Amino acid sequence: MPPENLDQEVARLRAQVQRLEREVDTLRRTDTGTGGSGSRATVSDADVGSTVLASVVMQGQVASVGKDRIVVRDAESGATFNLFVTNTTRISANGRRVSPQQLSEGTPVQAAFNYIADGDTYATQIQAYPGRQR
């Protein structure tokens, strides 16, 4: 695609994102829904804040472990990510499922997680790598 077409596409996508953001803001303020049939949904029913914005896979190491979370330090940026762990999160080491508490600080991991519209991050899968801890 020629550069001028890329610029046009980027401009079109930015305009579309801005329009969608305005729609979400309007729905949050007015407590209304859209559509032609059925009952009116409230914002709490639709819960816009639980929308998955991005699914992320990163390499890093365990910074800390809590009862319902694992903090992972990104190998590239050094940023930490507070990942909530649920009963659907798959955590494994050496090919076996393990509990979050079995991962010690410094363990190298690959973490897959969903970034939610409300700002929370929920781990979907964490794979510990064998080898030395850093």
Mean pLDDT (whole number) for 122-130? 93
Encode pLDDT of 4-15 as tens digits: 777 787 778 778
- Percentage of the chain with pLDDT > 70? 79
Type of residue found at 116: I
Q: Which residues contact 101 (CB under 8 A, 6 or more apart)?
A: 65
- Percentage of the chain with pLDDT > 90? 47
Query: Contact 82/71 with Cβ under 8 angstroms?
Result: yes
Half-sphere exposure of 56 (CA within 13 A, CB side): 19
Query: Contact 134/75 with Cβ under 8 angstroms?
Result: no
The reported pTM is 0.62
Encode pLDDT of 12-60 as tens digits: 877 887 777 777 777 766 655 555 555 555 444 445 567 888 888 999 9
Cα distances from 76 to residues 9, 25, 80, 102, in angstroms, run 30, 34, 11, 24
pLDDT at residue 126, rounded to an integer: 97
pLDDT at residue 30, rounded to an integer: 60
Type of residue found at 69: R
CATH number of 49-128: 2.40.50.320
